[in-house]
Chain A
Amino acid sequence: MAIEVRIPTILRSYTGGAKVVDGSGDTLADLLTDLDSRHSGLRGRLITETGTLHRFVNVYVNDEDVRFLGALDAKLSDGDSVTILPAVAGGAFGFAAAAAISSHSAAAAAISSHSAAAAVSSRGTAVAAR
Chain B
Amino acid sequence: MNGRRLAECAAFTLAVGLLIVVTDGAVAAQRDGQVGARDARAVATGTGVIAGVVVSAGDPSSPVRRASVLLASGQVAVPRTAVTDDQGRFAFVGLPDGNYTLAARKAAWVSAVYGARSASDSQGIPIAVANGQRIDGLRLPIARGAVVAGTVRLASGQPAQDVAVHVLKIRTVDGRRQLSTTAAPAQTDDLGRYRVFGLATGEYVVQARSQASLVRSRVTRQVTASEVRWGEELLAQAQSVSGVPADALQVPPPGSAVTYSTVYFPGTTFASDSSVVSLRAGEERLNVDFSLSLVPTAQISGTVVGPDGAPFLGAAIMLTPEDGGVSDVLSLMIRGGRSASGRDGTFSITGVTPGRYTVTARGTPRAPDAMIRLTPAAPANAEMVAALSMLGGMLGGANTATLWASEPIAVNGDDLPSLTLVLRDGLTFEGRVVLERGLDGGPEGGNDVPPNVTTLRITLAEPQSGDPIMAMMGRTLGMGTMAATPGEDGAFVVKGLVPGQYAISVGGRPMRVGLPGMPDAASGFVVKSIRWNDQDLADTGVTVQASGAVVDVVVTLTPEPSELGGMVLDASGRPTGAFPIVVFSDNRAFWTPGSRRVKQVQPASDGRFLVVGLPGGDYYLAAVTRLEPGDLENRQFLEDLIPAGLRITVGDGEKKTQDVKLAGGR
Q: Do A and B come from one complex?
A: no
